[in-house]
A = this chain, B = another copy of it.
Amino acid sequence: MGAVFHYDLHVFDGKKYEQTGSSGNRINPVENYQIFNPESLDTDQWIKAAKDAGFKFAILTATHETGFALYPSDVNPYSVRALNWKNGQGDIVRDFVNSCRKYGLKPGIYLGIRWNSFFGVHDFKVNGKGEFQKKRQAYYNRMVEGMVTEICTRYGKLFEIWFDGGASHPDLGAPDVLPIVKKYQPDCLFYHNNQLAEARWGGSETGTVPYPCWATFPAPYSHVGDSDEQRIELLKHGDPDGKYWMPTMSDAPLRGYNGRHEWFWEPGDEPHIYPLDELMDMYYQSVGHNSTLIVGLTPDPRGLLPEADVQRLKEWGDEIKRRFGKPIANSVGEGKTVEVNLPETTAINLLVIQEDITQGERVREYTVEAQVDGNWIEVGHGQSIGHKRIQEIETVMATKIRLKVTKSMAAPSISNFSIYHVEQ
């Protein structure tokens, strides 16, 4: 689990983007960029809130669709350098990365290069025609490559670089970003362009993926298929026979409940913070489905994560700890069966299964059986396990429980099989 923090000029415009969504800013430059003035900016407060939820990483939109950069770029003048805020001396990426390091979260950076309403870029293409367009396109591509170099070289080791909506392909006239990331951040996840995706989008912005969900994929880049429907299905489920390691991420904004779906702070959206039980369902259907959950958080015009969001994140982290902090019993094991003896007859209703994914995903099908009154009965079954499978079962009073891998590639390697009983 991790967070993606969205922050851009239009957070400060006081507008509620009811109908259109804030993506109107893709084609309409924010009227006055000096509105960007987070007087109480405190990225420690952001990251502490993320840590309280149990997040392991945090990603920041260094640029989003306006083209405005949250760090003082040497190649993109439309940045914090242009602001009266801090007399142009602010660097939110640096503050953010420092806060991540302070709280032990891995920092990642999100770069939007597909849209830039200020420079005039629409779906990677500089708007216009003729020689003028060609030269500004070449300039824009160099600008992007320069920004990627800056992000990769100024802020230490990054966990992920996330190109919003992909980074297209140099052969299609897009900036050539992959070699830059590979050169300067060889261990950083590259997400993504038409050459490579080292993670994949889970096919929706619901924070969930359906089951089963495989971390493997049939191509090195993530958007393949003959139709949108086919592409989305493949993104959601992956392909157990795929040759490429490309785990899913399930993303959703924390303020995505009950008729809203906002990645950026807008006034009056507190009622749209997901309730705790919805967040727990989301957790089960993402992390519990072998996917990374990435939750959108929304710093406000003060430069703080709003109190209501901070509180919900804390409740969420606490609830995950309450449910999963201490298993009744657990085991590990190589081979087709992993058995857990319970100290006494015990009510159980929740399982966590994990594979040692350094060996790949080997399990293809499994059943779970419980010994009830001396007899083994099936209490669950499934297909994908991967990094983590959380499985709710009907409450049974069991003395033993065992995982049986009924179909696999090579010998299964189960790194964790834990048994819980959770009071809802």
Name A's B-contacting residues (CB within 8 A).
27-29, 31-34, 72, 74-75, 77-79, 81-82, 84, 87-89, 117-120, 122, 126-129, 131-133, 135-136, 139, 142
Which 9 pairs from chain A and chain B are nearest by CB? Answer: A77-B82, A127-B128, A28-B135, A77-B77, A29-B139, A27-B132, A128-B128, A77-B78, A120-B120
With A74-B84, A139-B31 in contact, do A122 and B132 touch (Cβ < 8 Å)? yes
Q: Are B136 and A29 in contact (CB under 8 A)?
A: yes
Chain B neighbourhood of A72, CB < 8 A: 88
Q: How far is the CA of A81 from the CA of B74 in the complex (A)?
A: 11
Chain B neighbourhood of A88, CB < 8 A: 72, 81, 88-89
Q: How far is the CA of A122 from the CA of B31 in the complex (A)?
A: 21
Chain B neighbourhood of A89, CB < 8 A: 87-88
Q: Indicate the member of A32, A72, A120, A132 with the most B CB atoms within 10 Å.
A: A120
Give me 20 other A-B pairs in contact (C-beta within 8 A), A31-B139, A34-B74, A119-B120 excluded.
Answer: A27-B132, A27-B135, A29-B136, A29-B139, A31-B142, A33-B77, A74-B84, A77-B82, A77-B118, A81-B82, A88-B89, A117-B136, A120-B126, A120-B128, A120-B136, A127-B132, A127-B136, A128-B128, A128-B129, A129-B129
Chain B neighbourhood of A82, CB < 8 A: 77, 79, 81-82
Chain A to chain B contacts (Cβ below 8 Å), 15 pairs: A27-B131, A27-B132, A31-B139, A72-B88, A77-B82, A79-B82, A81-B82, A82-B82, A87-B89, A118-B139, A120-B120, A120-B136, A122-B132, A128-B129, A129-B129
Select from chain B the residue with minimum beta-carbon distance to A30. B139
Q: How far is the CA of A132 from the CA of B128 in the complex (A)?
A: 10
Q: Are A135 and B29 in contact (CB under 8 A)?
A: yes
Q: How far is the CA of A88 from the CA of B72 in the complex (A)?
A: 10
A139 to B: closest C-beta gap in Å:
4
Chain B neighbourhood of A31, CB < 8 A: 139, 142
A14 to B: closest C-beta gap in Å:
18
Q: How far is the CA of A87 from the CA of B72 in the complex (A)?
A: 11
Q: How far is the CA of A60 from the CA of B142 in the complex (A)?
A: 30
Chain B neighbourhood of A126, CB < 8 A: 120
Chain B neighbourhood of A34, CB < 8 A: 74-75
